[in-house]
Amino acid sequence: MPATNNKARQVMVYGCARYGQPDSHQAMTLEQIGRNVAKIAGYGFSGAYEHSATARTPAGGTAAPYLVPLDTVVGDVQAQALHLRSADDLFGGVVPFAFVATKVISHGLLAPDAAAPAGWNPDFAQRAGAAVLPGFTAFSLEDARSAGLRLMAGGVVRIKDPCGIGGLGQQAVDSEAALDAALAAMSATDIESHGLVLERDLDSPDTYSVGQILVAGLLASYCGTQDLTVNNTGEEVYGGSTLAVVRGGFDALLAQPFGPRALSAIRAAMAYHDAALACYPGMVLSRCNYDVAFGVPAGATGEGEARALTGVLEQSWRVGGATGAELAALRALKADPARERVVAATREVYGPDADLPAGAELYFQGEDRDVGVLTKYAYLESDNDGHP
């Protein structure tokens, strides 16, 4: 149900102070996301939560703010301090342990007695099953090496920093020597603290984005595709998403006439989503995004190894690269209650040559201290673009 006008409640952004620069592309994008969430919900907007003592200690008839955190909120203590009690209190997610918000939950351990953090639930890998690629999570260098060698018997192995975003912090290895060299460059302490993901590498995979957003009672789900681009240092990174967004939950998404691969991606995301909620009680999610890859294993050596695989690469329970498109779609659905589907896109363009399409909403344009010249925008596409 579309939100009513309730300016008494304020949307506030939370967490961008850790970047240290209010004009960074992350901070400015988060602020624009907060303003757009406020418009959709019918709330006011009051800037950064950290800068408001009144917001941090609501009393009497003062409503606690609706937060748009930069990162997934971790633990009951932090959630209570931020007055986050349900999905109606934030755009993002709350998880019980820090590792739950990273890539490490996607895979099981090398052995039942392998090192793992407090709160680790081995049932997740069983429940997710074929929704993820073959792989392991390791919390020691020794386990990481053993996992890599076991996977390498079937082809190339991708090593992933569990906290990396946009495809950064990853490398593929195809030999024992390459594996040892990669692990030698890593910190044993970091692996013990945050873990390391090793999984089957895919050859030129197609990547789908499957997700769900809920703002002030308006629920929508989507499936779309991602684009890669080259950043200002020549690295291939996330360049944007194009999403087919429908009113309602994942079941409404499955009812759309998507192709076989997209439908497989949606089912994989649903299995992953349900496994997380079942294995880690207390999660609160109002924004979910799952990157799902479809491709042939790279360097496959065994019989049948060349069979195409589908698997969730990672989850995001916080604002992300696709959020601009998500919010553009939500605004369109709110504006027309009879509308059931909309196509929206977001783009990230590095360098000075960025042409915005008509009607695009700008999230950032300028020179960021860390990534250089960057333009980020979102826009609605024609309803006749077809389906992934």
Helix (H) and strand (E) counts in the chain:
10, 18
Both 109 and 207 in a single domain? no
- Asked whether residue 9 is assigned to any structural domain, the reply reads no
- Asked whether residue 125 is assigned to any structural domain, the reply reads yes
For residue 233, CA distances in Å to 168, 170, 229 come to 12, 16, 11
- Asked whether residue 386 is assigned to any structural domain, the reply reads no
Q: How many domains does the chain have?
A: 2
Both 265 and 361 in a single domain? yes
- Asked whether residue 1 is assigned to any structural domain, the reply reads no
Helix/strand/coil (H, E, C) string of 263-327? HHHHHHHHHHHHHHHHHCCCCEECEEEEEEEEEEECCCCCCCCCCCEEEEEEEECCCCCCHHHHH
- Asked whether residue 67 is assigned to any structural domain, the reply reads no
Give the CATH number, domain containing residue 159: 3.30.1490.20
Both 193 and 212 in a single domain? no
Q: Which two tokens stand for residue 335?
A: 């504006």
Question: What's phi and psi for 328, nearest 5 deg?
Answer: -60, -40
Q: Which two tokens stand for residue 380?
A: 């609605």
3-state secondary structure of 187: coil
CA separation for the pair 291, 202 (Å, rounded): 14
- Asked whether residue 41 is assigned to any structural domain, the reply reads no
Both 346 and 260 in a single domain? yes
- Asked whether residue 44 is assigned to any structural domain, the reply reads no
> Among residues 149, 170, 200, which one ends one of the domains?
200
> Among residues 200, 226, 242, which one ends one of the domains?
200
pLDDT string in tens for the chain (388-residue length): 444 456 679 999 998 765 556 778 888 999 999 999 999 999 999 999 987 766 666 655 567 899 999 999 999 999 999 999 999 999 999 999 999 999 999 999 999 999 999 999 999 999 999 999 999 999 999 999 999 999 999 899 999 998 776 556 789 999 999 999 999 999 999 999 999 999 999 998 999 999 999 999 999 999 999 898 999 999 888 899 999 999 999 999 999 999 999 999 999 999 999 999 999 999 999 999 999 999 999 987 655 556 889 999 999 999 999 999 999 999 999 999 999 999 999 999 999 988 999 999 999 999 998 899 999 999 998 764 445 6
Both 189 and 213 in a single domain? no
For residue 304, CA distances in Å to 62, 283, 300, 344 come to 62, 38, 9, 38
> Among residues 165, 200, 235, which one ends one of the domains?
200
Please state whether beta strands 66-69 and 10-14 pair in parallel, antiparallel, or not at all (unpaired). Answer: parallel
Both 276 and 353 in a single domain? yes
Q: Helix crossing, 25-41 with 323-335: angle to 10°?
A: 20
Please state whether beta strands 202-215 and 287-297 pair in parallel, antiparallel, or not at all (unpaired). Answer: antiparallel
- Asked whether residue 357 is assigned to any structural domain, the reply reads yes
Q: Which domain holds residue 325?
A: 203-380
